[in-house]
Amino acid sequence: MTTANTYIKIYASLGYLFYSVAAGDGTVRTAEVEKLKQLVKQDWLPLEGSRDEFGTDAAHYIEMSFDFALGEEMDGDAAYERFVDEYKDLAPHFDAGLKRLVLKTAAAVADAFHGTNKEERRQLGQIRKLLA
């Protein structure tokens, strides 16, 4: 059974992963941020009902960590490595459905600004390999 705190950790780490995709070409575009926010609302919030101690749906941690990385102007590779480090402990909680949603979201963020470029395709391949 996955606890609310585990979901918070998963979602926070995913924010860094999705940021790494958006920042992969060196610039995070408004369209990428907007696409992520749309997908959190559409796909991630309804996924399950975990909340933090303040009543905030745990899925919002995706946006919070993404926004933090953006505000810190974090390097895309550093954000990806942060996800990889956290994924080592969280991997048992990633079932096939969650992995599909992660890949769908990452691909949509990559595609949000004039399609997916070469660097974003490379990054998506890395993510697929990691989650396999």
- At residue 34, the pLDDT reads 97
- At residue 1, the pLDDT reads 47
Neighbours of 86 (CB within 10 A): 17
**pLDDT profile of the chain (132 residues), mean per 10:** 84 98 91 96 92 91 97 95 96 96 96 86 93 94
- At residue 2, the pLDDT reads 64
- At residue 118, the pLDDT reads 85
Using an 8 Å Cβ cutoff, are 124 and 21 in contact?
yes
Neighbours of 72 (CB within 10 A): 11
Q: What is the pTM of this model?
A: 0.94
Neighbours of 121 (CB within 10 A): 14
Helix (H), strand (E) at residue 71: helix 60-71
Domain ranges of the chain: 4-131
